Structure 1
Amino acid sequence: MAQFSLGAITQVFAGHISTIALAAVSIENSVIAGFFFGIMLGTGSALETLCGQAFGAGKISMFGVYLQRSWVILTVTALILSLLYIFAAPILTFICQTAAISAMAGVFSIYMIPQIFAYAINFPTAKFLQSQSKIMVMAAISGVALVIHTLLTCMASHV
């Protein structure tokens, strides 16, 4: 629940800034980040199968190898997909978003480029921990990230 609340927290605070900011954040979260979230999660989910097979075969030493390979693959994917974050404004204009919302969503999407690299590390790590039944570690990390994100977003919205 904590992982999926990050986008909602951002939207709540964007709504305090302006209607256009709320629309831009909503478009970035649902269209741009949502699309990339699916790609990165799907690609990172391959690790779940690999780690499950390694665990079943008793080859625990392969867990780290699979995790590192997955990080490399998803980081390269993030590099490629970051170009679409950079060109989000013209893409949104092309699919008939208003100019003001497209421009603001384009600026916001550039600030969100680190998010895609966080996905590249987070998704494989989550599958790695999940395959070892270390669910509470993931919950604790997500909880801390949610608190930090909320504090930083609150401070940024009041600047």
Structure 2
Amino acid sequence: MVLTRLPTVLCFHIQRRYYDPIAETMTKTAQHVEFTEYLDANQFYHNDNDNDSNNDKTTTGTATSSSSPNNSQQEVSTTTTTTSSMDTPALVPHRSSPPPLYKLQSVVEHCGNAYSGHYQTYRRRNDNEWCLVSDQSVQLTSWQHVQSCQAYMLFYEAT
């Protein structure tokens, strides 16, 4: 997979449920998935600016206006610039520099089996502190504890 525009937030869903044809039932895997605190998007990124340094199109022309008080027509010079990329604030803009580094901000964990359970979230509090949020309980936890959880969803944010 190659992306030409990178989002501000990357969300990864780890599918832990699968159908077991022998048991004819849904099963949840407890296999540990390793994840990192930082994610370099270089391997998923292709910069279109390398091929086409300017996607902007500029047109210059003349328009006729009849808004003057005596209703006479005037020529007005116009210049219009359009950009082929959408102005979407949720996307990291095109750049010629390397793609952004992503920093893990949150991990969602499902505790339970394939049919029932409970979700809890590990949330970054600041650069070196993490909190475990479960219903009304919020407690400080370590990065090592976050790494050892059975991650269900990972949320990375561009730095």
Q: Quick check: TM above 0.5?
A: no
- Pick the structure with greater CA Rg: 2
**Structure (1/2) with the larger strand percentage:** 2
| Greater relative contact order structure (CA < 8 Å, 6+ sep) | 1
TM-score w.r.t. length of structure 1: 0.30
Structure number having the greater helix percentage = 1
